[in-house]
Amino acid sequence: MNEILKMSMNEMAEADFDCSCGRHHSLSIKKIAIGKGVIQQLPDIAAEFKGKQLYMISDNNTWKAAGEQAFKILSDSNFEVKSHQFETGTEILIPDELAMGRMLLEMPLGTALIVAVGSGTLNDMAKYLSSRTGIPYIIVCTAPSMDGYVADGAPLICNGRKISYVATLAYGVVGDTDIMKQAPMHMIHAGLGDVLGKLTALTDWSLAVAMIDEYRCETCVKLVEEALRKCIEFAPALKERNEEAILYLIEALTLTGVTMAIVGVSRPASGSEHLLSHYWEMDFIARHKYPELHGVKVGIATPIVAEIYQLLDDELPPETKALAPQREVVEALLESAGAMISPKEVGIDRDLFYRSLMEANTVRKRYSVFQYAKDKGRLEEIAGIITERIYGK
């Protein structure tokens, strides 16, 4: 029982066990390879599909980062691979109806395996395509920027709104630290922001347990807490692209993805900080502006949510109060890695910020500290205090 707590990250593929939470957990991912030089394992990971059609997707940036290398490794091992690269220029790839349609149009007949080379957007697009076609996919990670590599949700843009579609888990995950440590520092900062968001996500989960008796798996909580501990310890070394720090970052991101997969909900990794990030992103997209990276926004949102908990300190259930992080601590961790901490730095004006605090609880049907503050009649007061601290009177 709970033998997953003793496993290394790469041993967790196809985990299957009875948990102390009373449920049976399993992970359908067949292969996980995270570490130095693991891109060379691609032919072994894809061995089941030898002699069949492979379809590789990337963009012009991820092709240079790892796509060209992955294509050569597979081609040299006599795999049949068709590659499609999205040309994004200086802009970012938006996972909307146009991009999804183009990806489907380029897919050759008889495709047996999709190989996505990228991070958040390309991974989400690949897993959605995989879920709708029944064709498995492998993700070759190019940046330690988010936790969705082993999650089954696919946040996509449909009709201008960000919608998290139920998708599928990857067949295999390849996270080569030699590649990921060369990622743009902005994307490394995004990964750190996404990891630190687990501090408030776990607090929200505790609050939901106390207030509405929501199910929680303590094994998943322990896995996330251990991943957080290692990543936080090495956070200052990220700005130097320290290989050990990058390894702990991608392991933390992957591990929180594993917990989401085995527990069947995103609670271990996503809370009020994600509601804020999604609200900001939808506003930007509605105004035809490119939003900041998801993890960067989550990182900025996390100390704000921590501050909400601090302002509610005297009213919190004891177990939730014990978990709640301090705003100053979270901001110090972000600053130690050189990451942004203010919503003003990513173009969020006072009006949008205030509205997001007042309306974030409407983004998803999920109990959160926003709902708790609203039920206590304190949301408007708290929104005013935090807005004034950041933007002035």
Check if the beta carbon of residue 302 is closer than 8 Å to that of residue 330. Answer: yes
Tokens standing for residue 272: 């009020």
Q: Tally the C-alpha atoms within 13 A of residue 294's C-alpha that lie toward its C-beta.
A: 21
Q: Which domains does the chain have, with CATH numbers?
A: 3-180 (3.40.50.1970), 185-391 (1.20.1090.10)
Average pLDDT, the chain: 94
Q: What are phi and psi of 337, to 5 degrees?
A: -100, 0
Mean pLDDT check: name the lowest of 287-301, 311-325, 330-344: 287-301
Q: What 3-state DSSP class applies to 115?
A: strand
Give, in order, the Cα–Cα distances in Å from 154 to each of 64, 106, 157, 383. 24, 20, 10, 30
> Which residues fall within 8 angstroms of residue 349, CB to CB, at 6 or more apart?
none
Task: Return the ∠ at Cα 199 (arms to 215 and 211), rounded to 5°.
Answer: 35
**Nearest-angstrom CA–CA distance, 338 and 317:** 34
The tens digit of pLDDT for each residue in 296-306 reads 999 999 999 99
* Residue that is written with structure tokens 């092709």 in the block: 63
Mean pLDDT of 119-141: 96
Whether residue 222 is predicted with pLDDT greater than 90 in this model: the reply is yes
Give, in order, the Cα–Cα distances in Å from 50 to each of 112, 115, 324, 386. 10, 13, 49, 56
Percent of residues, the chain, with pLDDT higher than 70: 99
Residue 267: closest CA among 255, 278, 256, 280 = 256
Check if the beta carbon of residue 232 is closer than 8 Å to that of residue 333. Answer: yes
Whether residue 2 is predicted with pLDDT greater than 70 in this model: the reply is no
The tens digit of pLDDT for each residue in 354-376 reads 999 999 999 988 999 999 999 99
Percent of residues, the chain, with pLDDT higher than 90: 80
DSSP character at residue 354: H
DSSP character at residue 4: G
The tens digit of pLDDT for each residue in 41-78 reads 999 999 999 999 999 999 999 999 999 999 999 999 99
Determine how many CB atoms are found less than 10 A away from the CB of residue 297. Answer: 28
| 1 — pLDDT class (breaks 50, 70, 90) | low
| 253 — pLDDT class (breaks 50, 70, 90) | very high
Q: How far, in whole angstroms, is CA 168 from its chain's centroid?
A: 15
Q: What 3-state DSSP class applies to 282?
A: helix
Whether residue 189 is predicted with pLDDT greater than 90 in this model: the reply is yes
Mean pLDDT of 210-227: 94
